[in-house]
Amino acid sequence: MEEIFNLFHGFAVVLQPYNLLVMLFGIVLGVMIGVLPGLGGANGVAILLPLTFSMSPTSAIIMLSCIYWGSLFGGAITSVLFNIPGEPWSVATTFDGHPMAQNGRAGEALTAAFTSSFVGALFAVIVITFVAPLVALFALQFGPAEKFAIFFLAFCSFIGMGKEPPFKTITSMMIGFALAAVGLDSVTGQLRLTFGFTELLNGFDFLIAVIGLFGIGEILLTVEEGLSLKGRAAGINLKVVLQTWTELPRYWITSLRSCLIGCWMGISPAGATPASFMSYGIAKRASRRGDNFGKGEIEGVIAPETAAHAAGTSALLPMLSLGVPGSPTAAVLLGGLLIWGLQPGPLLFVEQKEFVWGLIASMYLGNLVGLAVVLTCVPLFAAILRIPFSIIAPIILVFCAIGAYGVHNSTFDVIVMLVFGVVGYVMKKCNYPLAPLVLAIVLGDRAEEAFRQSLLGSQGSIAVFWSNGLVGGIMALGLIALSWPLIQEGSARLRTRLPRRLL
Amino acid sequence: MSNVSQRRDGGPRQRAMEIGVSLFTALFGAVVLVGSLQVGIGWGAEGPRPGFFPFYIGLLIIASSTVNLVQVGLADRRSGFAEWSQLRQVLLVLVPTAIYVVSIRYVGMYLSSAALIAVFMSWLGKYHWSLTAAISIGTSIAIYLMFEKWFLVPLPKGPLEELLQL
């Protein structure tokens, strides 16, 4: 019950006029970011982070998280109307969303997408409200070894669960760790890996990396593929919305299943993109009309959208309660916390109640406001996509540059951003995942610190990571996640062999 | 990064690119190793020395790059990385952007941003100069109002802004 009381307190914070204004501004910006090619949740939030330096941390996190919700909503618009996923997690939405639009049912598809997004997010926020404080309470007892084990688990699940080749994931992740190590060593205060360049004293900021890898890299990819925008008219009005809403409750099983898949995938750092694909695949198999999937089935829109939003939202749970972000965007928000002078981790729930509960309350309200905004303003946002590429691309580049400059007021950072952009383009083309690299840059220093502190405590013995049930259990989970592809392959082989033997 | 050569159907091979990337990441790993050795990878008075953790990271980078390099051998020999025409498009965007990010330091954010938008619009979009001027200058002014006035984030300025005493 304490959670309910805290939540009401949070609502009191959010309902201040200034915070409401910031919320609306964030949502609108977020939808625009979600619609624009090359801008997504992670780099959109990173670019706009400097805007919040003069705000209070609570208003700042409300604005940034609302940008995130907005971008989650925005991805659906481009998927349905233009067949261009604005975000990787909206790819699955194009499968049925765009055929629906082609059949003149764009309004229905959009309403279903937005409403499912809202349902998914709401489910995840409720989970966060009640589970996050418990996890935080539990995590307060963690020593350095347990902390490192949690990081270990997070990174192992990236390697084991990702759809990219595992060794490419390892390479990209380790490069992230190496980049994080550059500069001042946080334990001894010694300089390392700078090779005498004074520009590298402060190391590589992950915000610069995010803006470059995702923003610039994505624009280069878009340019290469050549943009041909053939959009469908939005055609959404109150009648269509209400009519679709009366239909949606029929698919409650799909919704609930997608919510659960989304939350699970969001909390374990698999992320929104695999969640949306998995949810779509299972819905297709489970549905009676599964054969119609891909031809414009409304259930095929509900499933991925619900899961993607549930995953995107629940990615904040480990970020808030453990200080381990579940997605690149959650990582950027975590970076924001550090910049505003807050220490991410379980102590947040004890020391920064107003901040945490303000954020959670803003998730409820922000998603509601977001739903209203996208339902009423779809044609407006769709119009953004009709701006020719030769106008919108340089404007996006300019905003990337401003964002990169704003992090440390350094023009050198802008050049670093462009280098990251080219690296991101090549890596993406060669199927190296970018998210682990970013997460490793964010968490590198803290993972290393936890590692070294645990070794200090044990006088250099690795056995400290198996010294008690808790830390050993987490490490074991990590190892299972790491070898997941092998386990899957093994069980698949067993399954195909057994029946044959029986014959 | 890799030795790309033009062949019949135009464009560098995916294989060549992948080999290049894995060699590059291995080289990066080696640099990390050297850097770690410079600051010490052993056990010092205050516990593990600064190079302790990065040293193993460097080893892992080299090891995983080697695996990637071996796996390239299994990849399709014929698939292309990109067409030359596509890469030319990429360069058309990349070169002005490179000039742009360097010029920010010398002429300030506002002037260089307006110039970048103008170059894109007139070069790639072939718009009339009046529309080009309106959008490029308009964007810079909008950015000025939004960042400098509303959110109080100062952006780099050059000689022009000094002249206008902004």
User: Consecutive sets of 10 residues in chain B, 166 residues long: mean pLDDT of each?
Assistant: 46 85 94 90 79 91 93 73 84 93 92 93 87 93 87 84 78
- What residues of chain A, 394 to 423, have a C-beta less than 8 Å from chain B? 394-395, 397-398, 401-402, 405-406, 409, 411, 414-415, 417-418, 422
Residue B103 tokens, joined: 């010029």
Q: Which residues of chain B are within 8 Å of residue A54 when distances are taken between CB atoms?
A: 151-153
Tens of pLDDT, residue by residue over A105-132, are: 888 888 899 999 999 999 999 999 988 8
How far is A118 from chain B, CA to nearest CA, in Å?
30
Query: Residue A426 pLDDT more than 90?
Result: yes
Under an 8 A CB cutoff, do B81 and A390 touch? no
CA distance A171 to B64: 6
Mean pLDDT of A15-43: 86
- How distant is the Cα of A453 from the closest Cα of chain B, in angstroms? 8
How remote is the C-alpha of B78 from its chain's centroid? 28
| Contact (Cβ atoms closer than 8 angstroms) between residue A33 and residue A71 | yes
Number of separate helices (H) and strands (E) present in chain B: 6, 2
**Vertex A266, ends A262 and A267: CA angle to 5°?**
125
Instruction: Answer yes or no: do A175 and B25 touch at CB < 8 A.
Output: yes
> Is the pLDDT assigned to residue A1 strictly greater than 80?
no
Least confident of A188-202, A419-433, B25-39: A188-202
Q: Give the per-residue pLDDT at B8.
A: 44
Q: Examine the pLDDT at A227 and tell me if it is beyond 80.
A: no
pLDDT value of residue B71: 87
- The Cα A356–Cα A346 span in angstroms is 11
pLDDT band at A168 (very low <50, low <70, confident <90, very high): very high
More confident position, A321 or A230: A321
Cross-strand pairs, B47: B44
Rounded Cα gap, residues A171 and A176, in angstroms: 9
User: What is the value of ipTM here, to two decimals?
Assistant: 0.89
Contact B135, B145 (CB under 8 A): no
In a 13 Å sphere around the CA of A3, the CA atoms on its Cβ side amount to 13
Q: Do A193 and B36 touch (CB under 8 A)?
A: yes
Does B132 touch chain A if contact means CB atoms closer than 8 Å? no
Residue A351 has pLDDT above 50, yes or no: yes
**pTM of the full structure:** 0.84
Most confident of A335-339, A395-399, B26-30, B84-88: B26-30
Has residue A502 got a pLDDT over 60? no
Q: Distance of CA A499 to CAs A29, A168, A309, A495, Å?
A: 56, 35, 40, 7
Q: Are B113 and B146 in contact (CB under 8 A)?
A: no
Distances (CA, A) of A502 to A420, A495, A496, A499, B114: 55, 11, 11, 5, 74
Which whole number is the average pLDDT over A54-72?
A: 88
Residue A206: pLDDT above 90?
A: no
Closest partner residue to B117 (CB to CB) among A219, A394, A427 is A394
Q: Note whether A421 and B74 are within 8 A (CB).
A: no
- pLDDT at residue A140 tops 50: yes
Using pLDDT thresholds of 50, 70 and 90, give the confidence band for residue A487: confident
**Residue B6 pLDDT:** 41
Instruction: Give the model's pLDDT for residue A123.
Output: 93
CA dist., res. A394 & res. A101, Å (int): 30
Mutate to test the interface with A, among B1, B36, B93, B126 (most CBs of A within 10 A): B93
Mutate to test the interface with B, among A188, A387, A396, A455 (most CBs of B within 10 A): A188
| Residue-level pLDDT at A457 | 83
pLDDT in the model for residue B77: 67
What confidence score (pLDDT) does residue A500 get? 52
pLDDT confidence of residue A344: 81
Q: Is 90 exceeded by the pLDDT of residue A34?
A: no
Residues A415-441: what's their mean pLDDT? 90
CA–CA distance, A348 with A316 (Å, rounded to integer): 13
Cβ distance of B100 and A190 shorter than 8 Å = no
Measure the N-to-C terminal CA separation of chain B; round to a whole number of Å.
43
Distance to chain A for B73, nearest Cα, Å = 14
- What pLDDT does B5 receive? 43
Determine the pLDDT at residue A210.
Answer: 86
Q: Helix, strand or coil for residue A76?
A: helix
C-alpha span between A271 and A315 (Å, rounded): 7
Measured in degrees and rounded to the nearest 5, phi and psi for residue B38 equal -60, -35
> CB-side exposure of B52: number of CA atoms within 13 Å?
21
Above 80 in pLDDT, residue A272?
Answer: no
Read off the tokens for A399. Answer: 């905003």
pLDDT classification of A194: cutoffs 50, 70, 90: confident
What percent of chain A stands above pLDDT 90? 15
Of A219, A390, A427, the CB nearest to B124: A390
- Specify the 3-state DSSP secondary structure of A381: helix
Residues of A in contact with B67 (CB under 8 A): 167
A51 at the B interface (CB within 8 A)?
yes
For B47, left (φ over 0), alpha (ψ -120 to 50), or beta?
A: left
CB A239 within 8 Å of CB A58: no
The confidence score (pLDDT) of residue A421 equals 93
A310 vs A196, more confident: A310
Beta-carbon separation of B139 and A395 below 8 A:
yes
